[in-house]
A and B are shown apart, each in its own frame.
Chain A
Amino acid sequence: QVQLVQSGSELKKPGASVKVSCKASGYTLNNYAMNWVRQAPGQGLEWMGWINTNTGNPTYAQGFTGRFVFSLDTSVNTAYLQISSLKAEDTAVYYCARDQGWWFDPWGQGTLVTVSS
């Protein structure tokens, strides 16, 4: 069946970087765009942007430019989110979600990134 499996929780110090993976199974990554969504503790969903899985061209939402990078490795059917210069306020669960036309299904299980000294 179609599913997205994300990498496990991460604990990082401020200033470090993290790379979250999102492996697609049951379909070819190239066939659908991939979106990323952030959910801070106790907060709602926040759209981070999307990546065109055919061209690799990313689009970042306001507030997610500079330190956030979306990438792909189509040879392993996987999308990635890298965050650099981590800050405490980056502590959140990060989700990848398959885009079927500005609606998302399925979603990955989420990756908790905790930034703490």
Chain B
Amino acid sequence: QSALTQAASVSGSPGQSITISCAGTSNDVGGYTHVSWYQQHPGTAPKLMISEVSNRPSGVSNRFSGSKSGNTASLTISGLQAEDEADYYCSSYTSSATLVFGGGTRVTVL
């Protein structure tokens, strides 16, 4: 199972909105709702930001939102803040009853 495809890096200025994409296939992202997003700051464990394509857990800022169209999922961060600078990973359930992660996107706040 190949990793889901994410851009290596995305940047934006404070207050702007950015979108991170996660491209898969009909055997993973396109075929299931089990798509999640995780935030990871350097030296720390990943943190769940979005589950089931667009569900935001309690405690996660409403500036984070998730969506999916076809075989591509997206994470949008609105009102970008310095604390959002981190690595972001998508994941998806697959038709082989496994899980696959994206390669990760480094978000830089200019």
Contact = CB atoms under 8 A, between A and B. Distances in A.
Given A95-B46, A102-B36, A109-B45, A44 B57 contact: no
B60 to A, nearest CB: 10
B102 A107 contact: no
Contacts of B57: 105
A44 B102 contact: yes
A45 B34 contact: no
B99 A47 contact: yes
A45 B45 contact: no
A45 B38 contact: yes
Query: Which of B1, B40, B57, B99 has the most CB atoms of chain A within a 10 A radius of its CB?
Result: B99
Contact of A107 (B1, B34, B47, B91): B47
A45 B87 CA distance: 11
A105 B99 contact: no
Given A44-B102, A45-B38, A62 B48 contact: no
Given A35-B99, A103-B52, A45 B46 contact: yes
A34 B58 CA distance: 21
Contacts of B104: 44-45
Interface in A66-117: 95, 97, 100-110
Interface in A10-67: 35, 37, 44-47, 59, 61-62
B73 to A, nearest CB: 13
B45 A95 contact: yes
Nearest to B93: A102
A62 B2 CA distance: 11
A100 B51 contact: yes
Interface of A: 35, 37, 44-47, 59, 61-62, 95, 97, 100-110
Given A100-B51, A103-B34, 19 more contacts: A37-B46, A44-B89, A44-B102, A44-B104, A45-B40, A45-B46, A45-B91, A47-B99, A47-B101, A62-B98, A101-B34, A101-B52, A102-B36, A104-B38, A104-B46, A105-B51, A106-B48, A107-B46, A109-B44
Interface of B: 1, 3, 34, 36, 38, 40, 44-48, 51-52, 57, 89, 91, 93, 97-104
